[in-house]
């Protein structure tokens, strides 16, 4: 490899004599950190996790060093462009359209999020904003809610109210200009990072200048920080202690219904004027006695202060339908037992976070794997019955 090409392999902030005239500038330090060969290689390893058999991953790894160097060059020269999105539908439980990046773009996305966005946002987001963050997630948010309910009971008993909010078509309603302003505020000394972030933001829209794609790491971070101002309003101005948010779902617990009404009024005003969003019909104030529906579970605060967490009924139905699809996939040879067992282990792990012992115990009884259809099994049983039936004895007498 020519000397000029080799130099790009060692583009790292640890090198004080960086080749090709590249200098460490304070104005773009995080950008240069993101595009080091080491960090791009780490991003590649994370991006390929669980996908090494995919065609585009195999193709990229056939010339790994050259492909990473080319990606590094494009980023440094400012010529990098997204390769578009692959669109597909999922049903979980309602239809959702996912826009997946191509593999080389996922590498850039991983390096950008891990080395730039995450460290910055971790310093600014409130503790109970649980989405997209290392060490947090849905189970963290649910455990925090349980802690809030227990603490609330010690002070006020089990009488009270909660405000549950949900944003209408959240991802599809995020305003590009507002999001760009938030990014410029977060990275005031990183014009190269801002240039890259704005390119990613502008790469997709539902209507002109509105909407981010569902299914990308950058989109998750954008959605997580877009409502940080609402979090600040609730925690700092409205002084709501018991508050949790996961993406666009939030719960506020308070003893006074009238105060929650005032909170909701101020929250509506904020998201309408400052974020160009609106709450949907799921947003309402409900007595604690009815239980809190949050992140797929229903949380009940009993008269004794115990918190019971049960799987939502709609999720039970969805799980049964998924098990039925597993049976069909196994019979048709599309899934093997190991793949199904991995999925079941994931279900058991999720269920273990609630009061679901009976549901976990009966999970296997809902899944009978066979290469035969139900009709074939019935026919085989009838043939066996007739074969072993005593001569002269009718079926009704058995």
pLDDT of residue 23: 46
pLDDT along the chain (398 residues), means of 10: 44 41 63 95 94 93 95 95 91 80 96 96 95 92 96 96 97 98 95 96 96 95 97 98 97 98 98 97 96 92 92 66 71 72 66 62 58 56 52 47
- pLDDT score at 14: 43
Helix (H, G, I), strand (E, B) or coil at 90: strand
Strands, E assignment, 8-147? 85-91, 95-101
Helix (H) or strand (E) holding 4: helix 3-8
Residue pLDDT, tens place only, 109-162 = 999 999 999 999 999 999 999 999 999 999 999 999 999 999 999 999 999 999
State the residue for tokens 């877009």.
226
- Which CA distances in Å does 93 have to 249, 296, 351, 359? 16, 11, 17, 19
DSSP E strands, the chain: 85-91, 95-101, 161-166, 242-246, 249-254, 284-287, 292-294, 297-301, 307-311
């Amino acid at each position: 490899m020519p000397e000029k090409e080799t130099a790009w392999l060692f583009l790292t902030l640890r090198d004080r004599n960086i080749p090709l005239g590249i200098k460490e500038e304070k104005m773009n330090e995080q950008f240069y950190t993101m595009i080091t060969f080491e960090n791009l290689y780490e991003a590649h390893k994370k991006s390929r996790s669980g996908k090494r058999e995919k065609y585009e991953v195999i193709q990229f790894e056939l010339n790994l060093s050259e492909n990473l160097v080319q990606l590094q060059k494009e980023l440094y020269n400012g010529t990098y462009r997204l390769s578009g999105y692959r669109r597909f539908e999922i049903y979980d439980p309602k239809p959702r359209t996912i826009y997946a990046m191509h593999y080389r773009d996922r590498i850039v996305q991983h390096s950008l999020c891990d080395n730039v966005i995450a460290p910055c946002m971790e310093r600014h987001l409130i503790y109970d904003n649980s989405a997209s963050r290392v060490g947090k997630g849905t189970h963290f948010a649910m455990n925090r809610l349980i802690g809030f309910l227990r603490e609330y009971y010690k002070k006020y008993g089990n009488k009270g109210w909660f405000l549950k909010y949900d944003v209408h078509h959240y991802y599809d309603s995020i305003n590009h200009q507002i999001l760009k302003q938030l990014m410029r505020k977060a990275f005031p000394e990183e014009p190269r990072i801002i240039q890259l972030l704005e390119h990613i933001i502008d790469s997709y829209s539902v209507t002109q200048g509105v909407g981010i794609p569902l299914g990308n790491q950058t989109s998750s971070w954008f959605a997580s920080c877009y409502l940080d101002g609402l979090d600040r309003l609730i925690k700092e101005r409205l002084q709501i202690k018991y508050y949790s948010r996961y993406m666009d779902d939030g719960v506020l617990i308070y003893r006074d219904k009238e105060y929650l009404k005032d909170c909701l009024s101020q929250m509506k005003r904020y998201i309408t004027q400052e974020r160009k969003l609106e709450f949907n019909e799921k947003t309402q104030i409900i007595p604690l006695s009815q239980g809190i529906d949050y992140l797929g579970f229903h949380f009940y605060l009993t008269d004794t202060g115990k918190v019971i967490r049960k799987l939502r009924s709609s999720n039970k139905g969805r799980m049964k339908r998924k098990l039925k699809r597993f049976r069909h996939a196994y019979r048709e040879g599309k899934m093997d037992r190991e793949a199904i067992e991995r999925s079941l282990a994931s279900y058991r792990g999720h269920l273990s976070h609630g009061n679901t012992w009976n549901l976990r115990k009966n999970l296997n009884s809902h899944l009978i794997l066979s290469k035969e259809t139900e009709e074939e099994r019935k026919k085989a049983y009838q043939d066996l019955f007739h074969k072993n039936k005593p001569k002269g004895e009718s079926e009704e007498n058995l």
